[in-house]
């Protein structure tokens, strides 16, 4: 077992020294003027050898690290794009269910056309073009009218209440359009 380890260590040392020998030193990569301008001519032979070892190690590690950065950036870009698409879908889905309320102010208008009382699922078209749908089971049987005055006021937790003139009963409604 010890022999195998010794052989492996020898092979690794030979391979690493061959790689270092193939690497050009800093003195070979720079022109003599650049070498002097960088102050490298002041280094001793040992310091220059150590600098070359460090550069070789960093250049050997650089190719493995360089491709990883664009992949991470690409992944982050895809995540950001997916988030934005999800936000757009959520906005579209919310708009399909019910339009956003411009304000939480009470509204006074008239119900356009005939009014036949309250009933779950019934839609009420106001003179301003808004359409409201009744979502509770409040009833107002026998009530009849044409272009009846109505008030829609906000309640707690985003609920809206519809009440028509002449009656105390109110119905829970939500805006359709």
Is 100 inside any structural domain? no
Domain that holds residue 164: 107-175
Encode the chain (177 residues) as per-residue pLDDT tens digits. 566 666 657 666 665 555 545 567 888 888 888 888 888 888 888 888 888 888 888 766 655 545 555 555 777 887 788 778 777 777 766 555 555 555 788 989 999 999 989 999 999 999 989 999 999 999 888 888 899 999 999 998 889 999 999 888 999 999 998
Do 37 and 9 fall into the same domain?
A: yes
* The total number of structural domains that make up the chain: 2
Q: How far apart are CA 126 and CA 152, in angstroms?
A: 10
Sign, CA dihedral 155-157-162-163, equals negative
Do 89 and 111 share a structural domain?
no
Strand-strand pairing, 123-125 and 160-164: unpaired
- Residues 11, 66, single domain; the answer is yes
Residues 132 and 171 in one domain: yes
Mark whether 121 and 170 lie in a shared domain.
yes
- Can you give the pTM of this predicted structure? 0.43
Residue that finishes a domain, picked among 66, 95, 124: 95
51 Cβ contact partners less than 8 Å away, ≥ 6 residues apart: 26, 40, 43
Q: Are 125 and 131 in contact (CB under 8 A)?
A: yes
3 state SS of 30: coil
Does the residue 40 lie in any domain?
yes
Assess whether 70 and 149 both reside in one domain: no
Distance, CA of 125 to CA of 157 (rounded, Å): 24
Compute the distance between CA of residue 73 and CA of residue 23 in angstroms, rounded to an integer: 31
Q: What is the pLDDT of residue 70?
A: 57
């Amino acid at each position: 077992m010890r022999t195998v380890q010794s052989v492996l260590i020898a092979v690794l040392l030979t391979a690493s020294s061959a790689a270092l020998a193939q690497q050009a030193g800093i003195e070979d990569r720079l022109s003599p003027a650049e070498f002097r301008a960088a102050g490298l001519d002041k280094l001793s032979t040992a310091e220059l050898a150590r600098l070359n070892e460090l550069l070789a190690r960093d250049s050997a590690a650089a190719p493995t690290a360089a491709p990883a950065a664009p992949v991470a950036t690409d992944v982050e870009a895809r995540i950001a794009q997916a988030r934005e698409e999800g936000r757009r879908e959520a906005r579209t889905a919310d708009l399909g269910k019910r339009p956003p309320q411009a304000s939480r102010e009470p509204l006074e208008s008239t119900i356009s056309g005939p009014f036949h009382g309250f009933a779950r699922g019934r839609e009420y078209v106001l003179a301003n073009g808004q359409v409201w749908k009744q979502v509770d089971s409040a009833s107002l049987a026998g009530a009849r009218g044409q272009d009846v005055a109505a008030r829609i006021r906000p309640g707690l937790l985003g609920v809206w209440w519809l009440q028509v003139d002449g009656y105390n009963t109110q119905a829970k409604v939500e805006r359709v359009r």
